[in-house]
Structure 1
Amino acid sequence: RATAITAMVPSILNASATMKTKIHSLPLLRRMTFASFLIATILLSWNNWAGIQFVHAAATTAAPEKAEGVIQLTAKNFDKSLSDGNAWLIEFYAPWCSHCTRFAPAYEAVAKQLHSEKNNKHKVKVAKIDGAAERALSSRFSVKGFPTFFLVNGWTVREYAGNRSQENLVKFATETYEEVEAMPFLFGPFGPMGQLRSFLMRSGAWVVGLYENLTETRGLKPLIAMAVLCFGGIVVGLIMIVVLGVFMMSKMKQD
């Protein structure tokens, strides 16, 4: 392995030098666009990695809860739970959804049936997510209504679009799922666009929480709190622009 890695080093260095030359040949605006895209990609990757690390750290306190055989998933245990190598049939529901409430007994029967069967093509675990509370997860899956069902097997995700019944869901999870076209990875919940949707939703929730803290805890007036948030956003944006500008100007001087 060490010999193979050593042999790869010159190729990696040549590829890096080629990319550096191509980047330096771009106009300043394109360089800044490329750098912004690179920074955004790194931030999204770090966001996903940090979330997974948090899940691993909290695994002992955030174990999936079972309700009548159906496993309750949240943002804290989602990635950890789905990394067990099994397929997962997941329902996105809302407590106020009457269709979800009426279908709950049938879905519990689906869970008991699938959890007891061992002769399927793959073992299927049955779970549910409160889509109204877990908005970041709902955004990752592009949930547009409740209830919505997905079969997740690794990074392959298929949405169920048939009639809601115990028999149909069990058949979909064990037999007919291959007839349904999988979501494109790019736009799916585990791809970059899904992660971006989740990141934006969490960021929005953080901003709303900060606004509530400023108005309710700190006692600021709504307009003043909004002005503080806008000012903070402008400052962060200016700092990023200055950093990118300094980086690009230094590269231009080196050229």
Structure 2
Amino acid sequence: MEAKATTTTVAVRARLHWRQRSWIRRAPLLSLLLLVVGIAITRNNDGVASAGFVDTGSPGADGKRGVIPLTAKNFDSSLRDGNVWLIEFYAPWCGHCTRFASTYELVANQLHSDHAKAGVTRKVNVAKIDGAAERALSSRFDVHGFPSFYLVDGWTVREFKGNRSQEGLIQFALTGYEDTEPVPFVTGPFGPMGQIRSLLMRSGAWIVGLYENLTRARGMRPLIAMSVLCVGGLAVGLVSIVILGVAFLPKEKSE
């Protein structure tokens, strides 16, 4: 009887030990779930913040509409209009971008003027993003140089790699895109990798901003500010681990 009781006790302890550690194995899945929820909240906040504000490039005196500027605040909400978007990533200090700006305006005027034509089913909006300022968006698209051009049709993204010209971009936006392989969704701007890159960039920018606030606005020394950030990050990490452990610790069934 004593041996049987000992065996039962060992089995119960082993089961408890396995259950107590089971939440650790679930942590990666929970982290991914929290990341997806965070992305959804971020995108929803972007849409709310920009509700009713989409600079559609109001027509000028000649009735033509120019390039539409996009930022992180209005990017997702603007692209939900159901149209195709031709997007340029540029930088103010880029000489190639500056020289091509007037040509890109002509591309926008022509493609936007097609919207009013009867029988046109493929409407292409022409936009630009300051990739140097909007680093989170540049990270989502994995931009490596300026200027870079992408054609976004829903969640399908294609990168333009031809010669930069008015005719080349227009032809690519209307028909030439069919000969270009789309960016894989997993690594694309709307897939998990693109969203993770954007989230990391935003987090990094937030941490840098907090560091600058501590050193400049509050007058902390750099070493002290870094220590505060490290201690704060460690505290948040420990609290998160405790919360995950409590939330996912299975209860022992009564026998």
Question: Cα RMSD between the aligned structures?
Answer: 2.2
Aligned residues: 229
Corresponding letter in the other structure for 1:97: C
**Contact in 2 for aligned 1:141/1:188 (Cα 8 Å):** yes
Equivalent position of 2:187 in the other structure: 187
Any unmatched runs of 5+ in structure 1? 1-23
Q: Secondary structure at the match of 2:128?
A: strand
Shift of 1:192: 1.4
Shift of 1:51: 2.5
Distance 1:254 1:93 in 2: 61
**Contact in 2 for aligned 1:121/1:174 (Cα 8 Å):** no
**Contact in 2 for aligned 1:92/1:147 (Cα 8 Å):** yes
| Percent identity over paired residues | 59
Moved more, 51-60 or 175-184: 51-60
Equivalent position of 1:75 in the other structure: 72
Distance 1:129 1:109 in 2: 17
Moved more, 101-110 or 185-194: 185-194
Measured against aligned partners, the alpha-carbon deviations of 1:109-131 in whole angstroms (never above 9, x if no partner) come to 11011111246551101000000
1:205-220 paired onto structure 2 within 5 Å: 205-220=205-220
Q: Indicate how the Cα distance of structure 1 residues 121 and 160 shifts in structure 2: closer, same or farther if over 3 A, else same.
A: farther
Which has more radius of gyration? Answer: 2
Equivalent position of 1:113 in the other structure: 110
**Contact in 1 for aligned 2:50/2:77 (Cα 8 Å):** no
Corresponding letter in the other structure for 1:135: R
Equivalent position of 1:167 in the other structure: 167
TM-score w.r.t. structure 1 length? 0.83
Measured against aligned partners, the alpha-carbon deviations of 1:80-115 in whole angstroms (never above 9, x if no partner) come to 110000000000000000000011011011101111
Measured against aligned partners, the alpha-carbon deviations of 1:131-174 in whole angstroms (never above 9, x if no partner) come to 00000000110001100000000000000011111111000000
Equivalent position of 1:244 in the other structure: 244
- Would you say 1:66 and 2:57 are equivalent positions? yes
Shift of 1:183: 1.1
TM-score w.r.t. structure 2 length? 0.83
Distance 1:186 1:27 in 2: 33
**Contact in 1 for aligned 2:49/2:73 (Cα 8 Å):** no
Q: Secondary structure at the match of 2:162?
A: coil
Q: Secondary structure at the match of 1:126?
A: strand
Shift of 1:191: 1.1
Q: Secondary structure at the match of 1:92?
A: strand
Distance 1:192 1:205 in 2: 20
Q: Secondary structure at the match of 2:57?
A: strand
Distance 1:165 1:209 in 2: 39
Equivalent position of 2:196 in the other structure: 196
Corresponding letter in the other structure for 1:100: C
Q: Indicate how the Cα distance of structure 1 residues 207 and 160 shifts in structure 2: closer, same or farther if over 3 A, else same.
A: same
**Contact in 1 for aligned 2:108/2:126 (Cα 8 Å):** yes
